[in-house]
RNA sequence: GCGAAUGUGGUGGAACGGCAUACACAACGGACUUAAAAUCCGUCGGGGAAACCUUGGGGGUUCAAAUCCCCCCAUUCGCACCA
């Protein structure tokens, strides 16, 4: 009996799988299909993180099980390789990003291959490959064609350190998500994508898919739909109205002042009429200088300035109310102006208290002396004319009807979601395939000229004025207009790295197609993705963006499903051994290579799954990982315990079949830790027994093979099975074998467990009751007491005595 | 501030409302060994003679609660002036 030599075994089977093309998806579109997907990694210079294999192994287990169940499985891999870290590295070292990317990908590929994932390597892609980004550009041009890509002068989030514009989603706590640099607002001309046009559908279609609830909730909150009304307030003494948005039209009788955002155009329009215009302008400037971080940090203290001389008429009461400006009202949401109802809105309340503005209670139910009463369902309207006596819930529609009848307002739905800032002033991204011509404006690069390749340059440092490094590649920038032939220049901004990842799962279905992003047949067969696992951090970024692109492609007939992913699950983060997030600065990063050297890929994979509940964050434990090695070594030595008997022995039937059931069901529920525990129990019992048959062992190896495939294949071969496990049939359990002859039942007296007894299985309740009451072990607990009731449930009997 | 999740031995964690602490890690004891490692076999929530106590704390529903309901406390993660 040889030692468990995981190095030799793993190398041997990895080569074998490759030679036999064991995991290549078949282009046989008549077979039942299963598309398993993980988020393709960003090939960073640090190599694989122990978090990657958690998602990869989980879906690998599912993919391998599906193959054994007869599905044509697509489990692809690729690299999301455009992006800032590579570019920053290039700036620091002078090595071209293309070379860095190539190097990083090689390292990732080697690390992934070492772990024995059943990826279809023949479909490997990289977003930086011109043959790939040709189609990223193609989709962009389609969006442009349909009016969903537009250029706008907007205040953007600008990272002062990366010198790059960021999407709202990339600003975390007021600082840059990637580098932690300060983010300020800067007005720039940017390409935007109209994701807001899909806002309603992105919410509605969540009902069609099986995503974990957390993801759905987060997406809904991010899209932030609200129903309300837009109302025009007349400005006293002017032929002019100020439009506001409110979700609480029922409180309109309590609107005692109005507030406009500092960026609101009305200030400019009424410049001459505002008596304290200098003070107002000063406030505007201060607000503009504030970074987002400062704006939110200072949120506690309300600031503002009245627009002296400007009053509005409350359309409900007919009374004149003052107009203020304050940065607690945002230009980007609603109309940039609000009616302030201090009695029933927390922010308005604070503002009114700060500036001593009147507070009128219009809903009874709280104590407006102390705080705003904001319940939009309960309470009773007062001081509100025709709404008096109603609850807010009933008053809202009634007020909207009133506004619509009198043509001063309309029903209106608003979303928090903003359009997607799509331009980056960076080098290492897909060039935006547009040309600007003085005469013709923005003109698309003709489809037949795609891919528009990134020019080779050697200086990637972004300019201080925030323009892209590509602007300096004048040979490339200066071109002719595809429309009129006149002089023109290319767009020098590039796409964000969310572009390539928004559709990569489509390319996998037909990755070498030169004529289309993928053939219709391939797309129709493989889509939607059956099971997609990835990180929660991508919920409002990648996951939302790719749903948007997919819906657009659905609308133009490229794909046939309205949603890209049927099922979405999420893994918990792997923390350092000290329970903190793994990071270089904390010094608690675990390098998978070292551990794989020590315990092998099979044990490593197993530990990744065994360490804890899949969806919870779990601290790493290298000792725990070594425990999995110990278990596999124990499995290995089962070969010495094979006996001459055949088949599954009677006294093993229950164990074998209940383990098949448990492992299979737990895999499907992503309860990998308890599935592995069941296999450990199985092995413990075999050790107790001292022997195992070849057939019993074969079952165990099949169950083990999705988690630790190399050792399972090797042992399977050793014991004389000729069919490799990767295309063996997944074992089925026999229901009748799950019924034991005798069962242990727990005896409770008044709900507390007192003892346990063995009884024959299959008795009815009355028989069990009789048996229990008369049982010698039970008697002491009920002697001299009156039995009030006996409850028999499954394997518990509860005797209620007095 | 709002929302969500989590809280069980020394540690990671199990447990359709039905025998709490499965399975591991660590620790301890024994066997094997000249010795160690590895391996195998045991012990392992508290308390103890037994009774009994124990799932962050307090209440409740139930024959029965880690699990369901209410109120607190703590930790983590989202969102954060969205009218």
3-state per-residue secondary structure call for A471-530: HHCHHHHEEECCCCCCEEEECCCECCCCCHHHCHHHHCCCCCCCCCCCCHHHHHHHCCEC
Q: How far is the CA of A445 from the C1' of B43 (A)?
A: 76
Q: How far is the CA of A793 from the C1' of B69 (A)?
A: 24
Strand B reaches within 7 A of the A791 CB: yes
Q: How far is the CA of A610 from the C1' of B12 (A)?
A: 9
Strand B reaches within 7 A of the A7 CB: no
Strand B reaches within 7 A of the A183 CB: no
pTM over 0.90: yes
Strand B reaches within 7 A of the A796 CB: yes
Which one, of A483, A479, A473, A476, lies nearest residue A442 by Cα?
A483
Q: How far is the CA of A113 from the C1' of B10 (A)?
A: 38
Structure tokens at A502: 């928004």
Residue nearest to nucleotide B64 (CA to C1'): A751
Strand B reaches within 7 A of the A795 CB: yes
Chain A 520-579 contacts with nucleic strand B (CB below 7 A): 536-537, 540
Q: How far is the CA of A475 from the C1' of B13 (A)?
A: 62
Give me the pLDDT at residue A291, please: 58
Phi/psi for A560 (5° steps) reads -110, 0
Q: How confident is the model at residue A153 (pLDDT cuts 50, 70, 90)?
A: confident
Q: Which are the contacts of A417, defined by CB distance < 8 A and separation ≥ 6?
A: A195, A196, A199, A202, A222, A223, A224
Q: How confident is the model at residue A298 (pLDDT cuts 50, 70, 90)?
A: very low
Chain A 275-334 contacts with nucleic strand B (CB below 7 A): 295-296, 298-299, 302, 327-330, 332-334
Query: Among all strands, which nt has the closest C1' to A612 (CA)?
Result: B13
Q: Please report which helix (H) or strand (E) contains residue A754, including its range.
A: strand A752-760
User: Is the model more confident about A218 or about A377?
Assistant: A218
Give me the pLDDT at residue A288, please: 77
Q: How far is the CA of A234 from the C1' of B24 (A)?
A: 72
Q: How far is the CA of A753 from the C1' of B16 (A)?
A: 20
Whether pLDDT at A176 is above 90 = no
Chain A 401-430 contacts with nucleic strand B (CB below 7 A): 414, 416
**Best mean pLDDT range from A254-258, A368-372, A614-618, A789-793:** A254-258
Residue nearest to nucleotide B75 (CA to C1'): A579
Whether pLDDT at A181 is above 80 = no
Whether pLDDT at A601 is above 60 = yes
Whether pLDDT at A292 is above 60 = no
Q: How far is the CA of A321 from the C1' of B22 (A)?
A: 69
Query: Among all strands, which nt has the closest C1' to A301 (CA)?
Result: B81
pLDDT over 90 percentage in chain A: 68
Strand B reaches within 7 A of the A727 CB: no
Mean pLDDT of A619-646: 93
Q: How far is the CA of A685 from the C1' of B33 (A)?
A: 27
Q: Which of A283-287, A403-407, A681-685, A693-697 has the lowest mean pLDDT?
A: A283-287
Chain A 360-379 contacts with nucleic strand B (CB below 7 A): none
User: Is the model more confident about A46 or about A132?
Assistant: A132
Q: How far is the CA of A775 from the C1' of B51 (A)?
A: 22
Give me the pLDDT at residue A168, please: 64
**Best mean pLDDT range from A74-78, A91-95, A791-795:** A74-78
Q: Positive or negative, the Cα torsion across A702, A708, A714, A718?
A: negative
Give me the pLDDT at residue A373, please: 87
Pairing of strands A574-575, A618-619: parallel
Protein-covered nucleotides on strand B (Cβ within 7 A):
1, 3-6, 11-16, 18-20, 22-26, 38-42, 52-53, 63-65, 76-83
Q: Which are the contacts of A795, defined by CB distance < 8 A and separation ≥ 6?
A: A743, A744, A745, A746
Q: How confident is the model at residue A609 (pLDDT cuts 50, 70, 90)?
A: very high
Give me the pLDDT at residue A424, please: 87
Are A421 and A290 in contact, with CB atoms under 8 Å apart?
no
Q: How confident is the model at residue A461 (pLDDT cuts 50, 70, 90)?
A: confident
Angle formed by the axes of helices A672-689 and A694-704, nearest 10°: 160
Are A113 and A14 in contact, with CB atoms under 8 Å apart?
yes
**Sheet strands side by side (includes A487-490):** A441-444, A434-437, A487-490, A478-480
Give me the pLDDT at residue A582, please: 83
Residue A19 CA neighbour count, 13 Å, CB half: 6
User: Is the model more confident about A590 or about A295?
Assistant: A590
Strand B reaches within 7 A of the A794 CB: yes
Chain A 496-515 contacts with nucleic strand B (CB below 7 A): none
β-partners of residue A13 are: none
Give me the pLDDT at residue A300, please: 63
Chain A 580-599 contacts with nucleic strand B (CB below 7 A): 581
Q: Which of A135-149, A264-278, A548-562, A730-744 has the lowest mean pLDDT?
A: A730-744
User: Is the model more confident about A577 or about A401?
Assistant: A401
Residue A473 CA neighbour count, 13 Å, CB half: 23
Rg (CA), chain A: 33
Q: How confident is the model at residue A374 (pLDDT cuts 50, 70, 90)?
A: confident
Tell me which residue has tokens 């899909």: A198
Q: How confident is the model at residue A533 (pLDDT cuts 50, 70, 90)?
A: very high
Q: How far is the CA of A732 from the C1' of B21 (A)?
A: 31
**Direct distance between the N- and C-terminal alpha carbons of chain A, in angstroms, rounded to an integer:** 64
Query: Among all strands, which nt has the closest C1' to A625 (CA)?
Result: B25
Whether pLDDT at A302 is above 80 = yes
Are A777 and A757 in contact, with CB atoms under 8 Å apart?
yes
User: Is the model more confident about A759 or about A684?
Assistant: A684
Strand B reaches within 7 A of the A672 CB: no
pLDDT in tens, A20-36: 999 999 999 999 999 99
Query: Among all strands, which nt has the closest C1' to A327 (CA)?
Result: B81
User: Is the model more confident about A536 or about A132?
Assistant: A132
Whether pLDDT at A1 is above 70 = no
Q: How far is the CA of A296 from the C1' of B80 (A)?
A: 8
CA gap A416, A423 in Å, rounded: 21
Strand B reaches within 7 A of the A264 CB: no
Q: How far is the CA of A594 from the C1' of B20 (A)?
A: 38
Strand B reaches within 7 A of the A345 CB: yes
Give me the pLDDT at residue A743, please: 84
User: Is the model more confident about A169 or about A493?
Assistant: A493
Chain A 699-718 contacts with nucleic strand B (CB below 7 A): none
Strand B reaches within 7 A of the A687 CB: yes
Strand B reaches within 7 A of the A228 CB: yes
């Amino acid at each position: 009996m040889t030692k468990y030599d995981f190095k030799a075994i793993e190398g041997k089977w990895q080569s074998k799988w490759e030679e036999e093309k064991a995991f290549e998806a078949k282009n046989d579109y008549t077979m039942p299909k299963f598309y398993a997907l993980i988020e393709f990694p960003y090939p960073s210079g640090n190599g694989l993180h122990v978090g990657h294999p958690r998602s990869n192994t989980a879906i690998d287990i599912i993919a391998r099980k599906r193959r054994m169940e007869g599905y044509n499985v697509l489990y692809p891999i690729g690299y999301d390789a455009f992006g800032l870290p590579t570019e920053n590295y290039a700036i620091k070292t002078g090595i071209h990003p293309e070379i860095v990317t190539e190097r990083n990908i090689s390292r990732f590929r080697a690390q992934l291959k070492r772990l024995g994932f059943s990826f279809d390597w023949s479909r490997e892609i990289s977003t930086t490959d011109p043959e790939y980004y040709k189609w990223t550009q193609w989709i962009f041009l389609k969006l442009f064609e349909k009016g969903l890509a537009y250029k706008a002068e907007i205040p953007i989030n600008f990272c002062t350190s990366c010198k790059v514009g960021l999407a709202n989603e990339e600003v975390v706590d007021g600082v840059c998500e990637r580098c932690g640099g300060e983010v300020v607002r800067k007005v720039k001309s940017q390409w935007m994508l109209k994701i807001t046009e899909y806002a309603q559908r992105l919410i509605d279609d969540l009902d069609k898919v099986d995503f974990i609830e957390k993801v759905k909730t987060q997406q809904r909150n991010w899209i932030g739909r609200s129903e309300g009304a837009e109302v025009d307030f007349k400005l006293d003494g002017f032929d002019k109205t100020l439009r506001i948005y409110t979700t609480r039209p029922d409180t309109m009788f309590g609107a005692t002042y109005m507030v406009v955002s500092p960026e609101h155009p009305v200030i400019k329009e009424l410049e001459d009429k505002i008596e304290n215009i200098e003070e107002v302008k000063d406030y505007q400037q201060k607000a503009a200088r504030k970074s987002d971080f400062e704006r939110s940090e200072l949120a506690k203290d309300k600031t503002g300035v009245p627009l002296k001389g400007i009053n509005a008429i409350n359309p409900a009461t007919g009374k004149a109310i003052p107009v203020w400006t304050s940065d607690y009202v945002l230009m980007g949401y609603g109309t940039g102006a609000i009616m302030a109802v201090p009695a029933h809105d927390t922010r308005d309340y604070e503002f009114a208290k700060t500036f001593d503005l009147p507070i009128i209670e219009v809903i009874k139910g709280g104590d407006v002396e102390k705080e705003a009463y904001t319940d939009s369902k309960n309470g009773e309207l007062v001081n509100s004319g025709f709404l008096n006596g109603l609850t807010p819930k009933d008053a809202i529609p009634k007020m909207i009807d009133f506004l619509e009848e009198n043509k001063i307002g309309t029903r209106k739905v608003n979303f928090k979601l903003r359009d997607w800032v799509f331009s980056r002033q960076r080098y290492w991204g897909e060039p935006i395939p547009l040309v600007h011509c003085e005469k013709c404006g923005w003109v698309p690069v003709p489809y037949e000229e795609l891919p528009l390749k990134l020019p080779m340059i050697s200086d990637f440092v972004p300019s201080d004025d925030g323009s892209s490094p590509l602007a300096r590649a004048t040979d490339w920038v200066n071109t002719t207009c595809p429309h009129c032939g006149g002089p023109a220049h290319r767009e020098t901004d590039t796409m964000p790295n969310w572009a390539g990842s928004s559709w990569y799962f489509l390319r996998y279905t037909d990755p070498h197609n030169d004529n289309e992003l993928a053939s219709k047949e391939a797309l129709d067969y493989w889509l939607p993705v059956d099971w997609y696992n990835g990180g929660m951090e991508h919920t409002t970024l990648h996951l939302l963006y790719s749903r948007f692109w997919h819906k657009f492609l659905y609308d133009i007939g490229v794909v046939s499903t309205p949603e890209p992913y049927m099922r979405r699950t999420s893994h918990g983060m792997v923390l350092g051994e000290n329970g903190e997030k793994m990071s270089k600065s904390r010094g608690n990063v675990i390098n998978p290579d070292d551990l794989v050297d020590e315990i092998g890929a099979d044990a490593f994979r197993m530990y990744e799954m065994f360490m804890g509940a899949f969806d919870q964050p779990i601290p790493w434990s290298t000792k725990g990982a070594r425990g999995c090695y110990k278990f596999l070594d124990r499995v290995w030595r089962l070969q010495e315990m094979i006996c001459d008997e055949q088949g599954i022995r009677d006294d093993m039937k229950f164990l074998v079949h209940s383990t098949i059931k448990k492992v299979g069901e737990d895999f499907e529920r992503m309860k990998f830790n308890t599935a592995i525990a069941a296999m450990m129990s199985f092995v413990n019992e075999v050790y107790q027994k001292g022997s195992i048959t070849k057939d019993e062992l074969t079952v165990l190896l099949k169950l083990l093979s999705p988690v630790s495939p190399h050792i399972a294949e090797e042992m399977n071969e050793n014991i004389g099975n000729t069919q490799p496990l990767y295309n063996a049939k997944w074992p089925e359990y026999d229901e009748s074998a799950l019924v034991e002859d005798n069962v242990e039942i727990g005896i409770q007296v008044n709900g507390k467990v007192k003892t346990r007894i063995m009884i024959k299985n299959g008795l009815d309740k009355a028989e069990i009751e009789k048996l229990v009451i008369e049982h010698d072990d039970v008697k002491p607990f009920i002697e001299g007491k009156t039995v009030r009731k006996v409850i028999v449930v499954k394997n518990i009997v509860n005797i209620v005595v007095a």
